[in-house]
A = this chain, B = another copy of it.
Amino acid sequence: MKNTKIYYKKTKFNDPILFVGLPGIGSIGSLVAEHLKNELKAKKFATLYSPYFPYQIIMLKKGTFRLVSNRFYYAKGGKGKNDVIILLGDAQPLTPEGQYEVNERIVEFFKQLGGRRIYTIGGYSPVAQYIKAPKVFGLATDPEMIDYIKKNGVTPTNITGMSVLGSAGMIVAFSKKHRISAACIMGETGMLEVDPNSAKAVLQVIGKMLGRELKLGNIERLQSETEKMLKEIEETSQSLMFPPPETRGKPKELPGYIR
C-alpha cells in the first residue's frame, strides 16, 4: 500500500457541511465528532487509509478488528437543510509529508461530493490548568466565515504568530486553496488529555450553527466524572503532602479514564 486511499459508497448529498474531529489537543475533536455522529445517527459511507498512519490494527469486540483509519459518516438534513458529514478516526498522519497529502485529499474528496463548507474541531491550550468556563476560539478562510462564526459565539483568534498543528489547521488551509469556505473551531482547554467540558462548549456552538438543539447528556456525564476525578486528585495530592499516618504508602486508586 503506497498511497492514501478513500473507499466509499456512492451517495448523493444536499449541499453537505463537513465537521472534522480527529485526535488532538484535549481530544476535543474526537469527543465532538463522536458525539455528533451519535446524536445525528450518522451512517458510515467512506473510509480513508494511509501509509502515513500508524501501522496498527485496533481490536474490536469478539476477535474482530480494524486497520487504523479515518471514517466519514453522514446524516441527511431533511427538507431544505444541509446534509451533515462527519469525519473522525483513530489517528492523524505521522509525518509532515503525510499531513500535507492526507489533509488535502480530505478536502478534495469533500469538494468532489459537492461540499462547500468545512468546520474543523480542535483544542486551544493557552494555559496548563483546567478551564471551568472554556471559550471557543476560531479562525477562518474568509471574512464572511469569520463573521458567521462570531455570530455563533466563537471568538476570532487574534495572536499573530501562534500556530495550529495538524489536521485542524491544515484542512482549513487546503480549503482556502480549493476555494471552500472553512473555519477551525477550537475549544479552550488545559492540562487534560480528554476535556469533555471544552467539547461541550464547542457542541453548543455547533448546535447553534445547525439550528438544532443537540442533547448533551452523554458529554455532561463525562464532564462530571472528569471534574469529580480532578477533585479527588487534588485532595489526594494534598493528603500526600500531609498524609495522615494510616494512609502513608497507600496511594489512592483513581477511576478509569477514556482516551
Contacts and interface: CB of A to CB of B under 8 A. Distances in A.
Interface of A: 1-2, 51-68, 94-101, 103-104, 138-140, 146, 149-150, 156-166, 169-170, 172-174, 176, 184, 259
A57 B146 contact: no
Contact of A139 (B54, B55, B65, B159): B65
Contacts of A95: 96
Contacts of A150: 63
Contacts of A158: 59, 61-63
A98 to B, nearest CB: 8
Given A54-B96, A166-B55, A173 B65 contact: yes
Given A55-B165, A65-B164, A65-B172, 13 more contacts: A51-B96, A51-B97, A52-B97, A55-B99, A56-B165, A59-B157, A59-B158, A60-B160, A63-B138, A63-B156, A63-B158, A67-B173, A68-B163
Nearest to A50: B100
A225 B49 CA distance: 44
7 contacts: A1-B101, A52-B96, A56-B166, A57-B139, A57-B169, A65-B157, A96-B98
Nearest to A92: B55
- Closest 6 CB pairs between A and B? A63-B156, A55-B99, A51-B100, A57-B169, A67-B173, A63-B146
A60 B61 CA distance: 45
A34 B163 CA distance: 20
Given A63-B140, A138-B63, A163 B57 contact: yes
B164 A56 contact: yes
A117 to B, nearest CB: 16
Contacts of A157: 59, 63, 65
Contacts of A163: 54, 56-59, 68
B96 A96 contact: no
B58 A161 contact: yes
Contacts of A176: 67
Nearest to A163: B56
A153 B159 CA distance: 39
Contacts of A161: 58-59, 259
B170 A57 contact: yes
